[in-house]
Structure 1
Amino acid sequence: MVHFDLLLPEGGAPGALWSAVDVLRELNALARVRAPRDALPAASWRLLGADGRAHRWHAQTCIDEDERRHARRPQPGPRVLLVAPLVMQSIPALQKLVRRNAASVELVRRRFEAGSLIGACGTGIWLLAQADCILSAPIPWLYQSGFEKYFPGVRMEAREPIVAERGCVCAVAPSLLHALVLHLARYAGLADLAHAGAEKLLLNTERQALSAAMTGTQVMGQARDTPLYLAQAWMQAHAAQPLRLADAAAAASVSERTLTRLFHQHSGMTPLKYLQGLRVQRAQMWLEGTFRSVDEIARDCGYGDTSAFCRMFARATGTSPQRYRDRYTFRGPRARWRLQETSLPEA
């Protein structure tokens, strides 16, 4: 079990930590579905005040006795400290607030030196910098000049929204709080649950577009009149059928040679590799979210030979379809789902 301490420093924004509790509760729900007999949850949490002691609002973060019990007596396992962002009026005021949070900064430093994972988003990153825990961090453009003034030794990362190094994970803005908690859960040993949780809690634009093609609806995108887009949209819509390059080229009104060149130029892969990638994504979605057999999935990915499909899937993912399902499924045993369905009261 992974235990999260949620630190609310003086001047911190508590809503971010409530969002973190939502994510952790989702991970526990997924864990119960996968292993209903397990007595322990995947994660526990406790809300801390600026002094490192239980905050007076902690009871509001727990909705049942199990959550309260595991918060009081965390089981042995990885420890995570998540720091709330600070409310900012100005850069000088923010730096004064950081100095007033000396106790929180010292707690961050001690936890970092003890080997705990540390997470922060937005202005909460300033506390990690003050504690000398980070060498680089994603800083919002609005604060970069001020951050550089006070922490010249910390490299600012402008291109990556989430940066992980030396046991610290930082997200550029509070809007990435869900993703930040999932990153921390993955690094703490809950990689499979974090993967499944990401599909429930975060927008996956590729799968969202792919699901439209899988239901026969045109995929949204830009530059719809380009040959490459037309070919990709046609391949998405017909990925369940055995395809020839000539068919995709005809759909885009170009030659096979031109289509191959366009794929190389804009995606760095051949049309076949692109098609295989589409089929792998379709298969992953079905393996994670349905009880469909591997034979059915292979057929609806355009493969008449299940063995050939399994070899292709293993080359792309490093594991077999069944092992992938075992690791990443959202659902518990089929019998459990049937029991729940048949036990619902009639309207």
Structure 2
Amino acid sequence: MPLTDPVSPAPHVVAVLALDGVVPFDLAVPGQVFGPTTTDLGVPLYEVRVCAGPGGAATSGMLGRMRVEAPFGLDALAGADTIVVPGLDDPYDPPGAVLDALRDASARGARVASICVGAFVLAAAGLLDGRRATTHWMYAGRLARRYPDVEVDPAVLFFDEGAVLTSAGVAAGIDLCLHVVRRDHGAAVAARTARRIIMPPQRDGGQAQFIRHADPADAGTALQPVLAWLEANLHRPLTLDDIARHASVSVRTLSRRFREQAGTTPLRWLARARVRRAQQLLETTDLPVERVAAECGYGSAVTLRAHFARAVGASPQAYRGAFRAAPSDPPAPAPNVIRYRGRMDTREGCTTDG
């Protein structure tokens, strides 16, 4: 007898809005994450439906004015369990019918989420009022000014406010969707999906969107030999006087050269270089955190954790878990992405016209 799940409930319906100007990458993310998510026996846990706005087919300004014809309309939001709003070329004036549909869905208990600047659409619907939210860091200031009742944090990857979730830009949408899978079905299912799409199984939502590293000075500048010496001596407890002494200049001259050629102070450059070295060691070695701290000049694991969390937004252990793949558990190949007339499905060999 073929194996069957003892209980096979209807899959959780995820509606993805394909509004005019939709960003293709953001539109594809929910299908790539939720589509291949199944039980141990291969039963789909989600059904992804791409839904057009009130104008029907959408046109994306990217990829040569790509046309997106969605198999479902705005009325499909009424039957969705989760609604995802991808980023748009122009998210600042969404159609009133879309806002009404989002409000109605939220009021009946549907979960709503946004990717990148899709947060502007949720904010316009009033769904982010009094909540913490994020978006692409380049647009966070505009979101905060436009919607002062929203507590905008430009630094994090995503926020989970229960029934409302928002993510930062581009790949952070994948992190958000994997987080939803983990919340719905546990870490093991989420990890299996992550391996399939070749992603780290978990990056904490509080991890920094980006980290400002010191840009290396151009080769041949007066500062370049000093920077090379600093990189080679990150393990030492260097002071400003130590650096100036090595450069054979006064502290004042050293500070001026750093401002002119590196755009920062010597000690700030050193702090960022130490974080960068710690990231490299966590990504590429199995050294204990205490050893990483010593190699980077922090002196103790406690000091490393404090500086690393402040710069990266995650602990060294969490960072290593997200970015160091286990050699014994290689990721599975990514599935092919197939476009269907019916619901979106990314399971290999699966077709549907539903």
State the TM-score, normalizing by the size of structure 2: 0.50
Partner of 1:289: 329
From the superposition, tell whether residues 224 and 115 of structure 1 become closer, same or farther in structure 2 (CA, over 3 Å): farther
Partner of 1:333: none
Once the two structures are superposed, what CA deviation does each residue of 1:84-123 show, in whole Å capped at 9, x if it has no partner?
Answer: 21213xxxxx43x32xx11111111112112222111122
Partner of 1:79: 81
Secondary structure, aligned partner of 1:152? coil
Q: Return the offset for 1:2.
A: 2.2
From the superposition, tell whether residues 168 and 139 of structure 1 become closer, same or farther in structure 2 (CA, over 3 Å): same
Question: Is residue 134–residue 153 contact of structure 2 (8 Å, CA) maintained in 1?
Answer: yes
Partner of 2:122: 128
Among 104, 111, 114, the residue aligned to 2:105: 111
Question: Is residue 84–residue 112 contact of structure 2 (8 Å, CA) maintained in 1?
Answer: yes
Q: Return the offset for 1:203.
A: 4.7
Once the two structures are superposed, what CA deviation does each residue of 1:164-187 show, in whole Å capped at 9, x if it has no partner?
Answer: 114111112133222222122223
Partner of 2:199: 202
State the TM-score, normalizing by the size of structure 1: 0.51
From the superposition, tell whether residues 205 and 191 of structure 1 become closer, same or farther in structure 2 (CA, over 3 Å): closer
Q: 2: CA distance between counterparts of 1:48 and 1:105? A: 14
Gapped regions of structure 1 (runs ≥ 5): 61-72, 89-93, 207-221, 253-258, 269-276, 291-328, 331-347
Secondary structure, aligned partner of 2:160? strand
Work out the percentage of aligned pairs sharing the same amino acid: 15
Question: Is residue 23–residue 178 contact of structure 1 (8 Å, CA) maintained in 2?
Answer: yes
Residue 116 of structure 1 aligns with an amino acid whose one-letter code is A
Residue 187 of structure 1 aligns with an amino acid whose one-letter code is R
Q: Return the offset for 1:193.
A: 1.7
Gapped regions of structure 2 (runs ≥ 5): 1-10, 59-67, 204-229, 237-273, 307-316, 333-354
Question: Is residue 169–residue 183 contact of structure 1 (8 Å, CA) maintained in 2?
Answer: no
From the superposition, tell whether residues 52 and 237 of structure 1 become closer, same or farther in structure 2 (CA, over 3 Å): same
Once the two structures are superposed, what CA deviation does each residue of 1:213-268 show, in whole Å capped at 9, x if it has no partner?
Answer: xxxxxxxxx9565449999969x9687xxx9x9xx79x97xxxxxx9953333237
Tell me the matched-pair count.
227
Q: Return the offset for 1:146.
A: 3.3
Once the two structures are superposed, what CA deviation does each residue of 1:267-301 show, in whole Å capped at 9, x if it has no partner?
Answer: 37xxxxxxxx79x96xx9769838xxxxxxxxxxx
Partner of 1:22: 32
From the superposition, tell whether residues 53 and 167 of structure 1 become closer, same or farther in structure 2 (CA, over 3 Å): farther
Residue 31 of structure 2 aligns with an amino acid whose one-letter code is V
From the superposition, tell whether residues 172 and 238 of structure 1 become closer, same or farther in structure 2 (CA, over 3 Å): closer
Partner of 1:66: none
Partner of 2:48: 45
From the superposition, tell whether residues 80 and 149 of structure 1 become closer, same or farther in structure 2 (CA, over 3 Å): same
For 1:126-165, what aligned pairs fall within 5 Å after superposition? Answer: 126-134=120-128, 135-165=131-161
Q: 2: CA distance between counterparts of 1:110 and 1:224? A: 59
Question: Is residue 84–residue 121 contact of structure 1 (8 Å, CA) maintained in 2?
Answer: yes
Partner of 1:265: 303
For 1:1-347, what aligned pairs fall within 5 Å after superposition? Answer: 1-28=11-38, 31=39, 35-36=40-41, 40-51=43-54, 57-58=69-70, 79-88=81-90, 94-95=91-92, 97-98=93-94, 101-134=95-128, 135-199=131-195, 200-203=197-200, 223=231, 225-227=233-235, 261-267=299-305, 289=329
Q: 1: CA distance between counterparts of 2:19 and 2:83? A: 12
Residue 185 of structure 2 aligns with an amino acid whose one-letter code is G
When the two chains are superposed, the root-mean-square deviation of aligned CA atoms in Å is 4.8
From the superposition, tell whether residues 52 and 180 of structure 1 become closer, same or farther in structure 2 (CA, over 3 Å): farther
Question: Is residue 118–residue 168 contact of structure 1 (8 Å, CA) maintained in 2?
Answer: yes
From the superposition, tell whether residues 156 and 2 of structure 1 become closer, same or farther in structure 2 (CA, over 3 Å): same
Question: Is residue 22–residue 86 contact of structure 2 (8 Å, CA) maintained in 1?
Answer: yes
Moved more, 155-164 or 196-205: 196-205
Q: 2: CA distance between counterparts of 1:155 and 1:237? A: 38
Secondary structure, aligned partner of 2:159? strand
Question: Is residue 4–residue 45 contact of structure 1 (8 Å, CA) maintained in 2?
Answer: yes
Structure whose residues are more often helix by fraction? 1
Question: Is residue 82–residue 111 contact of structure 2 (8 Å, CA) maintained in 1?
Answer: yes
Question: Is residue 117–residue 188 contact of structure 1 (8 Å, CA) maintained in 2?
Answer: no
Partner of 2:310: none
From the superposition, tell whether residues 154 and 44 of structure 1 become closer, same or farther in structure 2 (CA, over 3 Å): same
Q: Return the offset for 1:204.
A: 7.5
Secondary structure, aligned partner of 2:37? helix
Residue 132 of structure 1 aligns with an amino acid whose one-letter code is G
Secondary structure, aligned partner of 2:112? strand
Q: Return the offset for 1:52.
A: 11
Secondary structure, aligned partner of 1:48? strand
From the superposition, tell whether residues 17 and 226 of structure 1 become closer, same or farther in structure 2 (CA, over 3 Å): same
